[in-house]
Amino acid sequence: MIDFSLWRGDINPEKNRWVSPVLTVKIHLWEMAKNPQNDGAFQFLKHTLAMLRFHDVNHITLAGFNHQNPIFGLSFAVQQRGMLADGSPVTPYIVVEFEEAFQFSTTFKCFRAEVVSAVPCTEEGEPVGDT
């Protein structure tokens, strides 16, 4: 993970502003494939720099943040929150987990997730081309 940014949002009822906390992450992704020229070795292909944004974030836990922050995986689940008085369901949480690869991990709940961008990048995670 290259960047991890939390914004507390902007709740101001007097000005009718209702923006809940936002978490934005920038992640260097790649495809890992067996190297056909070296039995047993792997190569890293299709380097991509992705920016993800999560809205209405709460119940966040964060552990092991450091200078590297690799993750093993990213998973999403839906957690129901019950029913309204009229019997209709309450908007469910999206439960997000950045699975630990080496020390860093985080989990949180949100109501909306989006891919802001996904652009080709170098092996070092620097964008390439017209980005």
pLDDT digits (tens, 9 = 90+) for 6-24: 999 999 999 999 999 999 9
Contacts of 51 (CB under 8 A, 6+ apart): 24, 25, 26, 27, 115, 116, 117, 118
Three-class secondary structure assignment of 68-118: CCCEEEEEEEEECCCECCCCCECCCEEEEEEEECCCCEEEEEECEEEEEEE
Given a cut of 60, whether residue 117 has pLDDT beyond it is yes
Contacts of 67 (CB under 8 A, 6+ apart): none
pTM for the whole structure: 0.85
* pLDDT tens per residue, range 51-92: 999 999 999 999 989 888 888 899 999 999 999 999 999 999
Q: Tokens 């190569």 sit at which residue?
A: 43
Q: Mean pLDDT throughout 25-34?
A: 91
* pLDDT tens per residue, range 44-53: 889 999 999 9
